[in-house]
Amino acid sequence: MRRSLEVWKMGTVNYLEALKLQEKLASDRKALKITDTLLSLQHPPTYTLGKRQTVHNLLIPDSELKAVGAELHYTQRGGDITFHGPHQAILYPIVSLRDIGLGARKYVEKLELTMIELASIYGVKAQVGKRCETGVWVEDRKIGAIGVRISSGITSHGLAFNMDPDLNYFKHIVPCGIADKDVTSLKKEADVELPAEEVIQEQLIACFVRIFGYNDVILKDKSVL
């Protein structure tokens, strides 16, 4: 059976704008108005809290967020607190799990594999975390985060892979609620020179397409929106 995916390459998008767009697309996907859709983008510096909202994992007072140039938003995705920012490749799949025959656990595993495969392109051996350690890791250093929302079988939110973000932002949080672990990036872990970030983001899309088994892919440049 052929599977179609529409990929939106969006550049840098404000977090709240991306959130509203995901909600609209998820509603349209549920109503069968659109096919499976993948948003590829970056965010300005933003901290987000998932449904396990443990605010004490934000180590900086709300009043000081503006000083470090970051926003804070509460979301309905799974997981705890994380950081999104420039030089981080983000994918938000709006897909019907029923149509592709996946349960929630298998879906998350495929998101993990997407990031693991991307890292392997650059000779970086990444793997899933230990029990209760979400995301993708290089030894005990986190390189990719996952936080998803599934409603009526339609996904939103997704994954964030660290290409070369300012890792100092992670010092203000306990990433995903996991203490005493470092955060890393492809830039720090790879022994080869990295290409332009747009190339890495396209490779991440290609890994997603292959692992999820899409046959027909429609690319749309939405960066001008």
Average pLDDT over residues 43-70: 70
147 annotated to a ligand binding site: yes
32 annotated to a ligand binding site: no
Average pLDDT over residues 148-175: 90
**Catalytic-labelled residue, pool 176, 178, 200, 209:** 176
146 annotated to a ligand binding site: yes
Q: Please tell me whether the overall predicted TM-score, pTM, comes out greater than 0.75 for this model.
A: yes
50 annotated to a ligand binding site: no
The predicted pLDDT at position 70 comes to 76
The predicted pLDDT at position 60 comes to 64
Contacts of 88 (CB under 8 A, 6+ apart): 42, 43, 160, 161, 162, 163, 165
Could you tell me whether strands 36-42 and 4-12 are parallel, antiparallel, or unpaired per DSSP bridges? parallel
Distance CA 61, CA 28 (A): 38
**How many domains are there within the chain?**
1
Share above pLDDT 70 across residues of the chain, in percent, rounded to a whole number: 86
Identity of the highest mean pLDDT range in 11-15, 44-48, 130-134: 11-15
Q: Summarize pLDDT for 79-112 with one digit per residue, the tens.
A: 667 889 999 999 999 999 999 999 999 999 999 9
Q: Summarize pLDDT for 54-65 with one digit per residue, the tens.
A: 555 665 666 667
Domain extent for 38: 4-224
The predicted pLDDT at position 35 comes to 97
Q: Which residue has the tokens 């998932």?
A: 50
Per-residue confidence band for 223, with pLDDT thresholds at 50, 70 and 90: confident
How much is the mean pLDDT over the chain?
88
Q: Which of residues 77 and 13 earns the better pLDDT score?
A: 13
179 annotated to a ligand binding site: no
CATH code for position 83: 3.30.930.10
**pLDDT beyond 70 at 118:** yes
83 annotated to a ligand binding site: yes
Catalytic residue status for 207? no
